[in-house]
Amino acid sequence: MNKLLLGALLLGALLFLQQEDWLAPAQVEQSQSDSVLAQAFRDQRSDLQVRGEGRVVKVLPDDLEGSRHQRFILELGSGQTLLVAHNIDLAPRIEGLRAGDRVEFYGEYEWNAKGGVLHWTHRDPRGRHPAGWLRHEGRTYQ
């Protein structure tokens, strides 16, 4: 009986430790994302699919030339800034977005001298490009 109890306790401890390990990849992924974006910026690299998260530092007026885009600037954990150009002809606008809000993203990075631009944060109607998205306050926009 004692061996059974000891086995159950060891199994419980092992499962608890594995659960803690399951939480770690998201934290590692975020710092890896910031590192990948920092390297892309240094190398002036574009056409890179990236996933990450940042804090809104400024909400800009919409770009209304051609396809309409909601625009805002994110600051990553590394301090790098990223202009987000979210196509609101193909995906819903993030209503009520304010400076200080956190936004997760998956899209395509394009280099520019100010930190870069993130676009393709929506589904491709032709199905030729990976579907991107933005996530704000638990809601996904694509």
Average pLDDT over residues 92-106: 97
Averaged pLDDT for residues 76-95: 96
Write down the architecture of domain 2-141 according to CATH: Beta Barrel (2.40)
Q: Which of 111, 121, 132 is nearest to 36 (CA)?
A: 111
What is the Cα–Cα distance from 142 to 138, expressed in whole angstroms? 13
Residue 82 has pLDDT above 60, yes or no: yes
pLDDT on residue 12? 47
pLDDT at 127: 87
- At 6 the pLDDT is 47
The predicted model gives 38-42 an average pLDDT of 92
Task: Kindly tell me if the per-residue pLDDT of 89 is higher than 50.
Answer: yes
Confidence at residue 30, expressed as pLDDT on a 0 to 100 scale: 52
Nearest-angstrom CA–CA distance, 79 and 115 = 10
Please give the backbone phi and psi of residue 101, each rounded to the nearest 5 degrees, phi first: -70, 150
